[in-house]
Amino acid sequence: MMRGALRYVRRNPSLAVGIALLAALSLFIIIGRLLVDTEDARPLSVPALRPPSWDYPFGTDRQGRDLLAVMVAGTPLTLRIGFIAGFIGVGLGTVLAFIGAYYRGLIDTVIRGIADIGLTVPGLLVLIIIAVSIKGALTVNQMAIVVASLAWLYPTRTIRAQVLSLRERGYVEVARLSGMSGPGIIFFELMPNVLPYLAASLVGAVSSAILASIGLEVLGLGPIDAPTLGMTLYWVNFNAAMINGWWWWWTAPTVIILMVFLGLFFLTVGLDEIANPRLRRSV
């Protein structure tokens, strides 16, 4: 069993790298929560502007936040936005994709039309307009919903394409002939074959959602109280951390953001290879 897994890893290194990165991040968060007091992610907790040391491994920022605590507390927040938006997006997208692809006709045209049109709109711009139009400012959860409102577009399109091609396969015909109902066919025949695509889509959607939320936060439209990764970058900009030489302040979030995106990316590639065996070639 282990030998099989290892052999697979050699053939699909991307998956392994992706999982490894994300696992490392998760460990960081979990162990971090145990060892570090996340209360120190709040301002006034520690002396300001200390470079990394034994006491403060990631250094501290100008308002007295322990950056290690900020990373431990903020990374899950950022990831949460991504996951909520990603799941809602893919969930909604899957439902719509199946309905459209299976039943075809007018409803398919409408769904596809909306998805196509939505995709030509740069997501960030719509998010910006929503963010500035809302009364007051966004909380973390509200931001997730705002990002989710656009996250279903791409998954709908790709999953629909996949379902369309599967629909014509033999076993679906057999199921239909044998009297299985529409939803039954969807669940029992089509869904299992679409799962790898769903997984890849989900990871992709989560990645886009995190990117969108970080984008909004860096622009100053995010939840200013929250110690998320994007907000940390906002403070970095506001306090001119780069030119003032407080390199540790922006290094930590940058490295973590890199890990998040690289991890998700390699995971997507790995899942893609599972879904599309023709891509199985080592790099």
Partner 1 sequence: MQVAYIARRFGVLLLIVWLAGTLDFFLPRLSGQDPVRTKLLQQAALGGYVQGSIDEMTREYEQRFGLDKPLWRQYLTYLEDISRLDFNYSIANYPRTVRELITDALPWTIGLLGTTTLLSFGIGTLLGALLAWPRAPRWMGWLMPPLWALHAIPFFLLGLILTYLLAFQVPLLPIFGGYSAGASPEPSWSFAWDVFQHALLPALSIILVATGGWALGMRGMMVTTMGEDYVVFAEAKGLKAPTVFLRYCVRNAILPQVTALALALGQILSGAVLVEVIFGYPGIGTLLYQAIRESDHFVIQGIVFTVVVALGFTTFVLDVVYPWLDPRISYRRS
Partner 2 sequence: MTYKYDIGVYIVPKHVFEGQDWTTFKHFDLAKKWPVTTGPWQVVDASLQQKVFDRRPTWWAADRKLAPLPAVERNISLPFAGEQQAAQALITNQLDDGNAMQPATFPTVFRQNPKVVTYTGQKSPYGYMDWWPISLYVNNERPPFNDKDVRWALSYYIDRQQLIDVGYLGANSPSKLPMPPYPPLLPYFDAVKDLLAKYDTNEFAAKKGDSLLAAKGFKKGGDGVWTDGEGKRLNVDIIGFGASGPAIGPVLVEMLKRRGVESSMALPPDFDDRFQKGQFDGAIYGHGGSINEPYATMRLYQSASIAVPGAHQANFSRWKNAEYDKLVDEAFGVAPDNTKTLADIWRRAMEIWLPELPDIQLVQNYHRIPWNTTYWKDWPTEQNPYVNGAHWHLTFAMVLWNLQPA
Contacts with partner 2 by CB under 8 A lie at 42-44, 48-49, 62-64, 131-132, 135-137, 220-221, 223-225, 235, 237-245
Q: Give the residues lining the site for partner 1 (CB under 8 A).
A: 113, 116-117, 119-126, 128-130, 132-135, 208, 211-212, 214-215, 218-221, 233, 242-243, 250, 254, 257-258, 261-262, 264-266, 269, 272, 276, 278-279, 281, 283
Q: What is the 3-state secondary structure (H, E, C) of the chain?
A: CHHHHHHHHHHCHHHHHHHHHHHHHHHHHHHHHHHCCHHHHCCCCCCCCCCCCCCCCCCECCCCCEHHHHHHHHHHHHHHHHHHHHHHHHHHHHHHHHHHHHHCHHHHHHHHHHHHHHHHCCHHHHHHHHHHHCCCCCCHHHHHHHHHHHHCHHHHHHHHHHHHHHHCCHHHHHHHHCCCCHHHHHHHHHHHHHHHHHHHHHHHHHHHHHHHHHHHHHCCCCCCCCCCHHHHHHHHHHCCCCCCCCHHHHHHHHHHHHHHHHHHHHHHHHHHHHHCHHHCCCC
Pick one of partner 1, partner 2, none as the site partner of residue 44 (Cβ within 5 to 8 A by kind).
Answer: partner 2
Tokens 């120190």 belong to: 40
Between 44 and 106, CB nearer to partner 2: 44
Which of partner 1, partner 2, none does residue 269 bind to, with CB < 5 to 8 Å depending on kind?
partner 1
Which does residue 283 touch among partner 2, partner 1, none (CB within 5 to 8 A, set by kind)? partner 1
Rounded to a whole number of angstroms, the minimum distance from the CB of residue 283 to partner 2 is: 38
Binding-site partner at residue 175 among partner 1, partner 2, none, CB < 5 to 8 Å by type: none
Closer Cβ to partner 1, 36 or 213, answer by number: 213
- The nearest distance, CB 137 to partner 2, in angstroms, is 4
Q: 106 vs 243, which CB is nearer to partner 1? A: 243
261 binds, among partner 2, partner 1, none (CB under 5 to 8 A by kind): partner 1
- From the list partner 2, partner 1, none, pick the one residue 238 interacts with, judged by a Cβ distance below 5 to 8 Å according to partner type: partner 2
